[in-house]
Amino acid sequence: MVDKSWLKESATFSRPVIREIQRAAETGIYDIRGFGAKRHIPHFDDLVFLGASMSRYPLEGYRETCDTSVVLGDRFAKKPITIDIPITIAGMSFGALSAQAKEALGRGASKMGTSTTTGDGGMTPEERGQSKYLVYQYLPSRYGMNPEDLRKADAIEVVVGQGAKPGGGGMLLGQKISDRVAGMRNLPKGIDQRSACRHPDWTGPDDLEIKIAELREITDWEKPIYVKVGAARTFYDVTLAIKAGADVVVVDGMQGGTAATQDVFIEHVGIPTLPAVRAAVEALQELDMHRKVQLIVSGGIRSGADVAKALAMGADAVSIGTAALVALGDNNDIYEAEYNKLGTSAGYYDDYQDGQDPAGICTQDPELSQRLDPVAAGRRLANYLNVLTLETQTLARACGKSHVHNLEPEDLAALTIEAAAMAGVPLAGTQWIPGKL
């Protein structure tokens, strides 16, 4: 055996980099995978709360109330929705996910009084049935889109882009195109299917305004209409979404998860969630629309600390994808032997695209998907959402807030100069915000 502790690994040509060059040379095709960006980028970890002290007083941890409810869509919709916690479940398609996983997401979200979201592939009866509030995505592919389901939805989300791939369309590889998935999408079974990256019947913000008006007409102005964008030119994108008539804007940072995207896209396109929240809030404030049009932020939300920091920066709610899947059972050690057979390990698994998920979540294989018990998995998700909420309240009370929306940028300090510049909060111990005087 060679004693590897003496060997010096190149920072530039690290082992994963070398492995990828070898893989590319073997196959001649780019790497397609699931999950989100894996490299280190500035994130909410680089912020801390200041808490209360001499100049502010905290709230009692258990007794004094700290409200967590959020109203979404009261700008134009006749029927806005009120969620009990500031955390929603992001859009993930039936196709990418098994029907059991979709049902479990609905169960967990409903138990906590929050919403879940369809995805690129239409609405399934399982998720509609189990979701108290279901947001119906309106995507470029329009797979499974129909006016009946549109009217069954509690809100409509026009998807312009996704943080994992701003400017990219969806992919669902043949292994996951079962009869049911193919039928819902009007496509032949088993083909590699690529969703369009642009909407087929509108381009640009002026068209979007007309499109949103059409969706409102079809649904008699009842439903809140969200617009989801991948974080890139966030200030302008949010400004234009508001102008186009959105009730809610969803901004998804570059860490955001995906079911299948080129690795090069996941890691190199878009900006992190941290600067995106600030840019989105600035756009809302400049138009005097902050708290009138709601902002939902996603991309790398893992804990109540992340939730509280996003809210303190001005978001109205957050949305989770990857963390929700992990709560259901994704990347669980109990499947270690099977992960090993797939050439990976629990904690590293990201091949959501290939349909062999041992946890029965990112698959259409009937045997694998049977492994996921929607009731038990839904309970785990509800538990997890409960912890996120309790943690968020803990931090809010420590800052003396009786509603989580009362958290504010003044409650935050940054640990790094990058985070200070991106989030627009002072570097800890100073009053310095790089880029501002």
Partner 1 sequence: MASFDLADNTVRELNKHLHGAVTDKVTVDNPGGKHSVAVGATDAHQVEINGNVGYYCAGMNAEASVVVNGHAGPGLAENMMSGRVHVTGSASQYCAATAHGGLVVIDGDASSRCGISMKGVDIVVKGSVGHMSAFMAQTGRLVVCGDAGDALGDSIYEAQLYVRGTVESLGADCEEKAMRAEHKQALQDLLDAAGVTGVSVDEFKRYGSARKLYHFNIDNASSY
Applying CB under 8 A, the residues found at the interface with partner 1 are 27-29, 141-142, 145-148, 150, 173-174, 185-188, 191-192, 196, 200-202, 207, 210-211, 213-214, 217-221
- The H or E element containing residue 378 is helix 374-398
Q: Phi, psi (5° rounding) for residue 33? A: -150, 175
State the DSSP H helix or E strand holding residue 118, giving kind and residue range, or none if neither: none
> What is the rounded distance in angstroms from the CA atom of residue 135 to the CA atom of residue 89?
9
| Closest residue to ligand FMN in the complex (CB) | 321
Nearer to partner 1, 179 or 201 (CB): 201
Query: Does 257 participate in binding ligand FMN (rule CB under 6 A)?
Result: yes
Q: Is 93 near ligand FMN (CB under 6 A)?
A: yes
Cα(158)–Cα(180) distance, integer angstroms: 24
Q: Give yes or no for a contact between 364 and 178, defined as CB atoms under 8 angstroms apart.
A: yes
Of residues 195-234, those binding ligand FMN (CB under 6 A):
228
Region binding ligand FMN by CB under 6 A among candidate stretches 66-74, 79-87, 233-241, 252-260: 252-260
CB of 182 to partner 1, least distance (A): 11
Strand partners, 171: 194
- Cα–Cα distance measured from residue 164 to residue 255, given in angstroms and rounded to the nearest whole number: 6
Asked whether 92 and 105 are in contact (CB, 8 A), the reply is yes
Identify what 323 binds: partner 1, ligand FMN, none; CB under 5 to 8 Å per kind: ligand FMN
Q: Is 94 in the site for ligand FMN (CB under 6 A)?
A: no
- Binding status of residue 258 toward ligand FMN by CB under 6 A: yes
- Taking CB under 6 A as the rule, does residue 255 contact ligand FMN? yes
Which stretches within 249-372 are classed as H helix?
263-268, 273-286, 304-312, 322-328, 336-341, 366-370
Residue 183 interacting partner from ligand FMN, partner 1, none (CB closer than 5 to 8 Å by kind): none
Q: For the packed helices 374-398 and 99-111, what is the interaxial angle rounded to 10 degrees?
A: 40
H/E stretch holding 188 reads none
State which residue, 213 or 390, has the beta carbon closest to partner 1: 213
Residue 91 touching ligand FMN (CB under 6 A): yes
Starting at the edge strand that comes first in sequence, how are the strands of the sheet with 115-117 ordered?
A: 87-89, 317-320, 294-298, 248-252, 225-230, 155-159, 133-138, 115-117
- How far apart CA 285 and CA 292 sit, in angstroms, is 10
In angstroms, what is the minimal distance from the CB of 67 to ligand FMN? 24
Which among ligand FMN, partner 1, none contacts residue 200 (Cβ within 5 to 8 A by kind)? partner 1
Write the binding mask 311 to 340 for ligand FMN: x where contact by CB under 6 A, - elsewhere. ---------xxxx-----------------
From partner 1, ligand FMN, none, interface partner of 369 (C-beta below 5 to 8 A by class):
none
The residue (of 264 and 376) whose beta carbon lies closer to partner 1 is 264
Which tokens belong to 359?
A: 């946890």
With CB under 5 to 8 Å by kind, the binding choice for 208 among ligand FMN, partner 1, none is none
